[in-house]
Amino acid sequence: MRKQRRPMTQAEFGQLCDCVAKSGNTSHCIRLIGRSLDDLYHFLRHHTDERPRLTLALSVFHDDFLAIVRDLAISGIPGIRRGEKGAIILGDDGEPVIDRSPNPQLIAAVLRESSARLTRSEQRDRERTVAACSEDAVSSIIQEISLDPPPVMLTVGKSDD
């Protein structure tokens, strides 16, 4: 005879949403709180008003992740400077010199991902703006974007206080 599991509680669902907002991985988070995906599906089937909360948690993670990738794309992925024949170049302090340069492929991927969330009119406006800009203007825009403050992490879920 199979033992029936107790239903997922609101507190457990809140913990799940908090974890998903930080990691983006629902399966991993559900295991961390000691539940199964079946428990989650059962909970959502009986609490349909909670589904947007889980979707919002995934959106928070996605937006934070995209911001990190955007910062890497603009500031550049660090790489050790190498000289002739691949020798590592050392700075005055004896440490390897690290170079950073913007990554155009990563910038393009971030723009594509971001534009997928825009409405059609917003996409047309963005395309017109980029097409009308000179290289200097684009560089200026990229610099302004890089100076933007990082996104603020929202607390998703109910606190147990």
Percent of the chain with pLDDT over 70: 67
pTM of the model: 0.54
| pLDDT the model gives residue 89 | 86
Give mean pLDDT, residues 41-55: 89
* pLDDT of amino acid 43: 94
Give the confidence band of 45 by pLDDT, cuts at 50, 70, 90. Answer: very high
Q: Report the range of poorest mean pLDDT among 88-92, 94-98, 115-119.
A: 115-119
At 16 the pLDDT is 92
How confident is the model at residue 146, as a pLDDT?
A: 62
Please, what is the average pLDDT of the chain? 77
| Helix ranges restricted to H, the chain | 10-23, 26-32, 37-46, 51-75, 104-116, 120-132, 135-146
Query: Where are the chain's structural domains?
Result: 10-146
E strands within the chain?
A: 79-80, 98-99
